[in-house]
Structure 1
Amino acid sequence: MPGPPAQPLRTLGRLVVLLLTITILADAADVLVTLDERALLDRLIAGVDVPGPELERSDDRLAITALVQLASLILTTIVFVIWFRRAYANAPRLAAMEKRYGDGWAIGAWFVPFLNLVRPKKIANDIWRAGDPAPPAGVPFVEWPVSWLLHLWWALWLITNFVSNLASRALDAETLRDQRSLASATLAADLVDVIAAAAAIAVVVQTTRRYERRREALGA
């Protein structure tokens, strides 16, 4: 008897895209606030007397944008891994494949140190392959082609994590110059994250589209 049909992915995909867009907007807001903060630090370093209320407003803006970024990160992560797991769990219903990993790894692989540098990408590759509208005959599933878009997204994801890690190491900045360096590191992390999030949107949109077309074509 045939197994249960593949679950739809479209609504989850749209929600992920919405949350990634919010993440981009939060990063953009943080860029603007951090640029103002760095300009303020430049004035302090130059010996300019900056009024206390102005310093407080700058700190408040930084705190608000940081909170929004954290909230968007948490929400996006939760919904993304739900989307990712559903896509992987249903992949065998779209293509003749044998999963290399259990469904739980579609979530767990993101949170295991070192393993999260490799395994999520392999799972993403398999999800992409499962949606292939014209599966290549006589070719093992793991050798089916994968779009350059996935490689670009993954490279950007690794870079943004590396840059964010460097920025976090400067959080204990004490001197004005150290605080300025922290502001510059934060700007770099925000800008890379914007690019990575944009690439993630493209991956989610294209992967969901392939998945749904394949599901509808098979009546899965």
Structure 2
Amino acid sequence: MPAARLRSPEGLARATVALLGLVVAADLFAMWTGVLEIRVAGDILNGINDDAALRRGERSHLLHEMSRVAQALTLLATAAVFLCWFHRVRVNAEVFDPSRHSKSRGWAVGGWFCPVVNLWFPRRVTLDVWDASARWADRPGHGLVNSWWTLWIVALLADRAAEWRYDTARGALGWRDALHRLLVADALDAAAAVLAVLVVLKLTRMQRDRALAGPGFVTTLG
């Protein structure tokens, strides 16, 4: 494995934050289309089936499908850039303090894809990077990281359950219930993305401050 070398994470951080903003926008779009679909389900349950109701149903379904595509595309783009940023800050943290890492460098990326361990390995890597990146005089707690990770896991599980309910729904009542579940899952995902923005900004700032605190790092991150 090549020696760790300090490199600025700020460009990747800006790109990650921008893409996370698109994730939030896609979630809000999905929530809006979900509300439209819930109204259509209500029309069906109330026996409203005139031409206007049919047009509303076709339009809301098209928009809802578009929103799911938008969510998938923004998630893929964000994941790719986020992992580049995450690996960058992991390597930087090894320069700051190589003794603080319980997981090797490869887990900064691989930990997200391995079944079961991806429920806690990325959090462990994040906490190690967090601690190694903090200046000795400024040791922040883990509240922000733990809040982000908990909400991310809850949102992930809620989304899986809601998607299953949506795919297996029978009748207008079951469909409306599934849409409500998707609405909650999208709201949780948007909130997790906001916390992810705070984690990215905070950790990037911590690494910059830590680097500038040592004269040997100034030219690298300046």
So what's the TM-score if we normalise by structure 1? 0.90
TM-superposed CA distance for 1:135, in Å, is: 5.9
The question of whether the paired residues in 2 share the 8 Å contact of 1:44 and 1:50 is answered with: no
Question: Which structure is richer in relative contact order (CA contacts within 8 A, separation 6 or more)?
Answer: 1
Question: What are the ranges of 5 or more consecutive residues in structure 1 without an aligned counterpart?
Answer: 137-143
What residue identity is the alignment partner of 1:23? Answer: V
Inter-CA distance 4–115: structure 2 relative to 1 (3 Å threshold): closer
1:27 aligns with 27
The question of whether the paired residues in 1 share the 8 Å contact of 2:87 and 2:105 is answered with: yes
The question of whether the paired residues in 2 share the 8 Å contact of 1:128 and 1:146 is answered with: no
Give, in whole Å, the separation in 1 of the partners of 2:101 and 2:78.
Answer: 26
Inter-CA distance 50–131: structure 2 relative to 1 (3 Å threshold): farther
The question of whether the paired residues in 2 share the 8 Å contact of 1:117 and 1:158 is answered with: yes
> Which one of 72, 76, 79 corresponds to residue 78 of structure 2?
76
- Correspondence 1:194 to 2:190: yes
What residue identity is the alignment partner of 1:59? Answer: H
What residue identity is the alignment partner of 1:71? Answer: L
So what's the TM-score if we normalise by structure 2? 0.89
1:140 aligns with none
2:121 aligns with 119
Aligned pairs, how many?
211
What residue identity is the alignment partner of 1:8? Answer: S
1:1-220 pair list within 5 angstroms: 5-51=5-51, 52-97=54-99, 99-134=101-136, 146-170=141-165, 171-218=167-214, 219-220=216-217
Question: What are the ranges of 5 or more consecutive residues in structure 2 without an aligned counterpart?
Answer: 218-222
Give, in whole Å, the separation in 2 of the partners of 1:34 and 1:88.
Answer: 38
- 1:162-206, CA deviations, whole angstroms, 9 ceiling, x for partnerless residues? 111111211232311111111101100011111111111111100
TM-superposed CA distance for 1:154, in Å, is: 1.0
TM-superposed CA distance for 1:92, in Å, is: 1.7
2:220 aligns with none
Aligned-pair RMSD on alpha carbons? 1.7
What residue identity is the alignment partner of 1:109? Answer: G
